Amino acid sequence: MNNNEDIKSSSNTNLNSNENNAFTIDIEKIENKEAKVALAKKVLDKVKDGQTIGFGSGTTSYITAIEIGEKVQKEHLNIIAVPTSNEIKSVCEKYGIKIGNLIENELDWAFDGADEVELKEKWLIKGKGKAMFKEKLNIIASPKTYILVDNTKIVDYLGQKCKVPIEVFPQALKYVSSELEKLGAKDITYRGFTENNNGILDVRFEKIEKSLEKQVKSITGVIESGLFLEYKNIEILSV
């Protein structure tokens, strides 16, 4: 199970109608739960019958998926979800939401959370839940993505609180680490595997400039980074 942002414990869940379902989160143990519920409600009015929606990952997206699922059931809506993690897919399936993909379906809009947000440039760090590759695919495929964040995620500059997660092909971990050091990376740590069976490195950069995302991505062996810079189709919604 992913260690998504702000999860204290994931041993139980009030969503789990199937005891064998491993992809659940106990929402009662999510930090800032009330703020995240308020954020989820900000996008509920955007959910319309017949839409295809990109679902992000993390605890804010998890709560939002529940809120959307309840609306779908109450209003008998037919929507398609393109989820970015098994946890979110599990919620969608519980509420009877059809699962789509980016090959056969075109997104009307998407939502997601973030680990850090710099508001002036609308730059993000994502990936604490190890799903940033699919999250980035949704963002670039969507005409509009709503980034839902409480005030604990807003920073003066990227890297103020969080390291940058980088998804790496496992056999390239050593090489990628050495190349990241050439880009000024410090305090590189290994954090396990993604759902794609790739490794995750958490990296601290003393300064993040707009060219850094492309520089990191250009390293052979890097699948994706948690840097989300210069994306003009995102809108930050905060409480």
Q: In this predicted structure, what is the pLDDT of residue 19?
A: 36
**172-181 pLDDT, tens digit each:** 999 999 999 9
Question: Residue with structure tokens 């209003």?
Answer: 75
pLDDT, mean of residues 85-102? 97
For residues 103 and 79, membership in a common domain is answered with yes
For residues 57 and 168, membership in a common domain is answered with no
For residues 96 and 115, membership in a common domain is answered with yes
Res. 108: pLDDT tops 70: yes
Q: Is residue 4 part of a domain?
A: no
For residues 85 and 107, membership in a common domain is answered with yes
Q: Is residue 190 part of a domain?
A: yes
**27-66 pLDDT, tens digit each:** 788 888 999 999 999 999 999 999 999 999 999 999 999 9
Number of CB atoms found within 10 A of residue 152's CB: 13
Q: Is residue 16 part of a domain?
A: no
Burial class (CB in 10 A: 0-12, 13-18, 19+), 216: buried
For residues 78 and 116, membership in a common domain is answered with yes
Please provide the distance, in angstroms rounded to a whole number, between the alpha carbons at the two ends of the chain: 28
Answer whether 42's CB lies under 8 Å from 60's CB. no
For residues 73 and 141, membership in a common domain is answered with yes
Q: In this predicted structure, what is the pLDDT of residue 17?
A: 33
For residues 133 and 184, membership in a common domain is answered with no
Instruction: Indicate the residue type of 134.
Output: K
Distance (Å, whole) CA 50 – CA 79:
5
Q: Is residue 11 part of a domain?
A: no
CATH of the domain at 192: 3.30.70.260
For residues 113 and 50, membership in a common domain is answered with yes
Q: How many domains does the chain have?
A: 2
For residues 35 and 80, membership in a common domain is answered with yes
pLDDT, mean of residues 124-129? 96
Q: In this predicted structure, what is the pLDDT of residue 74?
A: 98
Distances (CA, A) of 90 to 66, 98, 136: 10, 11, 20
Q: Is there a catalytic annotation at residue 31?
A: no
For residues 211 and 109, membership in a common domain is answered with no
CATH of the domain at 134: 3.40.50.1360
- 14-28, 176-190, 201-215, range with the lowest pLDDT: 14-28
For residues 31 and 147, membership in a common domain is answered with yes
Handedness of CA 194, 119, 55, 58 (dihedral sign): positive
Choice among 135, 167, 179, 213 that is catalytic: 135
Domain ranges, residue 70? 27-154+231-238
